[in-house]
Amino acid sequence: MSLFEALYGWNCNAPISWSDLVNRVLIGLNMLADMEHEMQVIKKNLKAAHDRKKRYVDRNWLLKEFQVGEQVYLRIKLKKSSLHIGSCAKMEPRFCGLFSIIKRIGLVAYQLALPMTLKVHDFFHVSLLKKYVKDVDHVIEWFVLQVEPNGEF
């Protein structure tokens, strides 16, 4: 009894009769060779697609690395953040402050020197930081940061 017959209660309507020994030997080998060829084609296509995707991602990937003592801006996600700078959310800046890096934690996390008035965690992912490039014409306007009562960032 085949698995199909045990599961459904009747024989599978296949164009080839597998019960015949001649068909099983002659047609089965050709079918296995065709299946192996198809598997090789599928693996080749999957590898090509993976390589294309990897090439695209690697082209856009940027390694950010900061040193202790450097000045960075902190990115604020406007709708998810508890830090509010102004009254109009659309006009708030995307980056705030100018904070110095105290310590590097692992490969992608940094501890920032935040003001004591902020009740947020001082460890941030590298994707939320932007390097400050010193410019003599740049004037930093310090805004008063307000924190939501729940203290989440």
Mean pLDDT of 93-116: 87
The pTM is what? 0.50
Contact 83, 96 (CB under 8 A): yes
pLDDT in tens, 8-24: 777 766 655 556 666 66
Three-state DSSP class for 33? helix
| More confident: 141 or 151 | 141
Specify the pLDDT at position 110: 94
| More confident: 53 or 114 | 53
Nearest-angstrom CA–CA distance, 145 and 15: 75
Contact 76, 94 (CB under 8 A): yes
- Please determine, for residue 109, whether its predicted confidence score (pLDDT) is greater than 90: yes
- Please determine, for residue 115, whether its predicted confidence score (pLDDT) is greater than 80: yes
Nearest-angstrom CA–CA distance, 36 and 70: 57
Structure token pair of residue 98: 């100018």
| Per-residue DSSP letter, 37 | H
